[in-house]
Every structure is written in structure tokens, then in C-alpha cells.
Chain A
Amino acid sequence: MLGARKLLILGGITLALLGMGYGMWYAIFLEHRELGNIGGTLAAGFTAAAERNPVAAQAALKQYSELKYRYDRHVDVHGHWIGLAMLLILLGIAYDRVEFSERIKMFLATGLLIGSLLFPLGVLFQTFSHDAGPRGLAVMGSALVIASLGGMTLGFARERRRS
């Protein structure tokens, strides 16, 4: 059976590859076009206002707002997956210092890994839908990360000085 330490380290490496792969895919195929569109729609909004066309201005700014909303989330997904991956690997390296039973350690490690996967995934799904579902997934994922990390911090704090 896979130990908690291995789960954290291998899960972290997998998550890092996922985050980097996603970032690379986004940078190559979408980012430049989206950045161009963000700048273009903002400029179009103000140009329409200068031409005294408030309807066109509003439409362009609405589009700008939606593009910016998506862009921020794409970047967040990439950054958070890699950041969380690094945390998972580091915690995995130091995991023998957590003073809990193997069962609790495994439970915390699984919680942290699932939370680290779900939280950015929920953010990513927000680029497709503004509904409560993706937001709920992100909130659930981040709550899982915080709860697991809190448990691990307690475990590290219980560590006694070795003779």
C-alpha cells in the first residue's frame, strides 16, 4: 500500500506536472489571443464612448469584464496547482515528523491531495459557468486544504525532540 509520505511526494509531482502542462498549453494556445482581446475590448469601450455610442461601449466593456474574469482564473489555476504541489512535496519530505498514527497521517495526506486538486479545478470550471457549482467545488477544495494543513501543523507541533 502507498504510504502517506509517498502519496504526498508523488501527488505533488503529478500536480506540478499538471499545473505546468496546463500553464504551457494556456500560454501557447490561448493567453496571447485573450490578452489581445482584453486590451482590444477595453479600448473599444472607451472609443465607443468617445463616439457617443453608449450601447456599443457597454457591450464592449461587458465583453472585457468577462474576458478578464476568465483570464484571472486561468492564471490562478496554473499558479495554485504549482504552489500547492510544492507544498505537498515539502510536507511529504518532512512527514515523518508528524506525530500522529499512520491512519490519521494517511487521512490528512489524502485530504490535502484531494483538496489541492479540487480547489483549482473549481476555479477552472468557473471559466465555463458562473453558477454556484464550480464556486462550491473551489470552496470545498480550499476548506479541505486548510483543514488538512491545520491537522498537519498540529501533528508537527506534537513532535518531541528526539534523544
Chain B
Amino acid sequence: MGARRLLALGGIGLILVGMLVGDIFAVFVLHQNAAKVGASLTAAAHAAVAGDSKAVLASFQATGGFLENRGTKVDTHVHMIAFGYLALMLAILQPWIALGENAKKKLALIFLLGAGLLPVGVFLIHYAGLAYSPLESIGWASIAADFGGLLVIVVTLGYLLGLANRVQQKNNHALQDDLLEDRSTAGRTLLAGGLALVLLGFVHGSYYAVADLYKQEALDFSLLSEMSSGAAANDAGTVDSALGQYAQLGGDKAVKIAAHAHAIEFGLLAILLSFFQPYVRLQEAWKRRWAWVLLFGSLLLPVCVLLELNFGLLAGGMADAGGLLVIIALLAMWIGMVRYTGEIDTAAQTSEGTR
């Protein structure tokens, strides 16, 4: 298998695993953890009302632990998907990289190793801590994660060097690339739909920045002030009211930022996948269907995430269904690519055997 197909299959695989991991974390860990963080803030505010400054500090220390647990899981999910995107982009750029096929393949393998190692290391940070670590403040899991990141950086720099080599070559003629020449309906649908999603995400993000961001930041400060002044005045009612509004504010912020980010990320994914449609060995009609399923899921998720504040669990469930549609469509495309890869490799082996 060549470097390009290795990176394409590995990239989509990373995105798939990252999305599944994100879903599992969301259902079993993240929401419960967010509730614990909220409970810690409530405990700190109530301790302040009671005039118990030691309990305040203890509550904030507990929050640190919950935040680390949450942060490492979000990072695992985000890095897997981001490395998947990077792998797909590097796959597209392969013909422009002036390195031998063997070197490109080795770099692709090292990239996938690093891209797998970093998220696994990050995930383990919360559990491994500093056990058996030779360093004072960095544990083995962090060291493994950093090493994975280093491998990814080295490979990316290697490919960048290959790209620069090609730019400097004297016989730098325009390359014919079947992937980029493709004008199939599925590819064009994904490209147009992806661009529309990115545009939608930008427009929403800009609207959020102008209409909500500064108001939310001001409200954040005013609610915390209300909590502390209520606590100083031993007024538990004011503190509880501010805590309730603070939780609502946190939810409002989270859904708006998530909708903005997911629309753009899914848009980029659709654009990336549009280039790989010639590698998807499925019937044209099915390729078109999976393209539409991916775009529909990519739109459904951010829209329903935005509606979560008004429609609660119903909208949340529909957002999850949107995410599932994206995963299913992505899996179908990945299977199509594996079929294509199998055909090419079998043909290559047969031709070698004939010789």
C-alpha cells in the first residue's frame, strides 16, 4: 500500500475512532464530570456563605481534578480528529512531495504511530499520574504523548521539506493527479456542501462574537461578583440564584461555541473527503447517497446543538443522531476505500506473480 492510501485510510480511521471516542466520553464521562465541576463551585460558594475558607479551597482543589479528567478526554477526542484531518491533507499533497515512495511510506507509518500515541498518552495522564516517573512534574503518559507529538511534527516537517524540494526542482512541471481531476457528483456535492457548512459556521461565529460574546463575559463577572458579595453578606438565597444563572450561562456558551466549531469542522471534513471520492469503490448512486447522509448529519448536529437550550433532551438526541449519521457515512466511505485498496493490491500481486 502506497503512502497516499496509507494516510487516507489511517486519517479516516483516526477521525472515526476520535468521533466514537468523543461520543462515548460525552455519554459516560463528560456530562457527569461537568456536573461535578458545577457541584464543586456550588460547594465553594456555600462554604463561603458559611465562612469556611478552608472548605472553599478544598472545593476548588477538587475542581482541578475534575477539570483534568475532563480536559484530557476532550484533548484525546480533539487530537485524534485533528491528526486525521492532517493525515488526509498530507495524503492529498503526496504527488507534490519530492521524496522516494519508500521514504514517503515510512514517514506515513511514523505519522500514524505518533498520531495514535499522542491521544492514548493524553488519555492515560489522568490515570497514570506521576507513577514511576523519572521527572518531578511530568508522568510517563505525558512523556509518551509528547513523543507522539514530536513524531507527528518530524514527519510533517519531512513532508514540508519534500514539498520545498519539488518547488525548487528545475523540471517542476504541472502534475496530473486523478484525485484532483475527479468531477464526480459525489465529490462536487461534498465540496459545495462542505464550503456551505464552513460559511455557515463562520457567519454563526461572527454573529455570536458580535451579539453574545461580550455580554456573556460581562455576565460571567457579574454573576461571580453576586455570588461572592452574597456569600460575604451571608445571603444564601442570592448565592443560589447566581449559581443557577451561572450554570445556565455555561450551557449557553457551550452550545453556541460547539455549534460554531462543529459546523466548520464537518465542513472541512466534507471538503477533504470530496478529494478522495475516486478511491471509494462503491456504486456512483451509493457514493452520492453517503455524501448526502454525511452532509445532512453535519448540518443536523450543530443546528440541534443550538436548539438544546430550548428543547433539551429532544434536541440533544437529534444532535447525537446527526453525529451518528456522519460516523456511518464516514465508515461507508472508509469501507469503499478499503475495497479499492484491496483490488489494487491484489492486481499488483497478480502482476508480480505472472512475471
Interface residues of A (CB under 8 A from B): 13, 39, 42-43, 45-54, 57-58, 61-62, 64-65, 68-69, 83, 86-87, 89-91, 93-94, 96-97, 138-139, 142-143, 145-146, 149-150, 152-153, 156-157, 159, 161-162
- Does B24 touch A at the CB level, under 8 Å? no
Do A58 and B228 have beta carbons less than 8 Å apart? yes
Which chain A residues border B191 with CB–CB below 8 Å?
A: 94, 97, 156
A145–B60 touching, CB < 8 Å: no
- In the bound complex, do residue B232 and residue A83 qualify as a contact, i.e. CB atoms below 8 Å apart? no
| Contact (Cβ within 8 A) A46 B231 | yes
Query: Is A49 a contact partner of B221 (Cβ separation < 8 A)?
Result: no
Contacts of B264 in A (CB 8 A): 83
B56 near A50 (CB under 8 angstroms)?
yes
Q: Please give me the residue from chain A that is nearest to B234 by CB atom.
A: A52
Taking a contact as CB atoms under 8 Å apart, the answer to whether A93 and B180 are in contact is yes
Q: Is B237 on the interface with A (CB-CB < 8 A)? A: no
Contacts of B72 in A (CB 8 A): none
Q: Are A86 and B196 in contact (CB under 8 A)?
A: no
* Cβ-defined contact, A153 with B229, below 8 A: no
Contact B89 A86, beta carbon cutoff 8 Å? yes
* A153 and B196 contacting across the interface, CB-CB below 8 Å: yes
Closest residue of chain A to B202, judged by CB? A146
Contact A156 B209 (CB under 8 A): no
Among the listed stretches B46-54, B306-314, B315-323, B330-338, which one makes contact with chain A, having 4 or more residues with CB under 8 Å of it? B46-54
26 contacts between A and B (CB under 8 A): A43-B56, A43-B60, A45-B228, A46-B48, A46-B227, A48-B228, A48-B232, A50-B51, A50-B55, A52-B51, A54-B228, A54-B233, A58-B228, A58-B229, A68-B220, A89-B89, A93-B92, A139-B209, A139-B210, A143-B206, A146-B203, A146-B206, A149-B199, A149-B202, A150-B199, A153-B199
Q: Which of B107-115, B127-135, B268-276 contacts A (4 or more CB under 8 A)?
A: B268-276
Q: Separation in Å of the A41 CB from the closest CB of chain B?
A: 10
Q: Tell me which residues across on chain B come within 8 A of A86, comparing CB atoms.
A: 85, 89, 268
| A13 and B96 alpha carbons, distance in the complex (Å) | 14
CA distance A54 to B225 in the complex (A): 9
